[in-house]
């Protein structure tokens, strides 16, 4: 697994919270500034729920060459 399994583009994110409410492992969270952060990268299973449901296209899931 890469060091950063997902990339969050804060310039696009409006901190709606959809991503961290849908994250099945709790890898994504909101911080004290109201920003979305990858708080626990080791928990990310690259399921794509955050990327698929982000209305602002602010999250990209890093997948290996084999698609995982």
Residue 68: the pLDDT is 56
Could you confirm whether domain 15-60 is CATH 3.30.70.20? yes
Q: Could you report the per-residue pLDDT of 55-67, keeping only the tens digit for each? A: 999 999 987 766 5
Task: Determine the Cα–Cα distance for residues 56 and 68; give it in Å rounded to an integer.
Answer: 23
Domain range list for the chain = 15-60
Quick one: pLDDT at residue 63? 75
* pLDDT of the residue at 2: 47
The pTM is what?
A: 0.82
pLDDT digits (tens, 9 = 90+) for 6-51: 999 999 999 999 999 999 999 999 999 989 999 999 999 999 999 9
């Amino acid at each position: 697994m890469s060091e950063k399994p997902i990339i969050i583009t804060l310039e696009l994110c409006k901190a709606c919270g959809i991503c961290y409410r849908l994250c099945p492992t709790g890898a994504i969270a909101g911080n004290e500034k109201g920003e979305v952060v990858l708080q626990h990268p080791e928990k990310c299973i690259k399921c794509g729920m955050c990327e698929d449901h982000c209305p602002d296209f602010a999250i990209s899931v890093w997948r290996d060459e084999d698609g995982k």
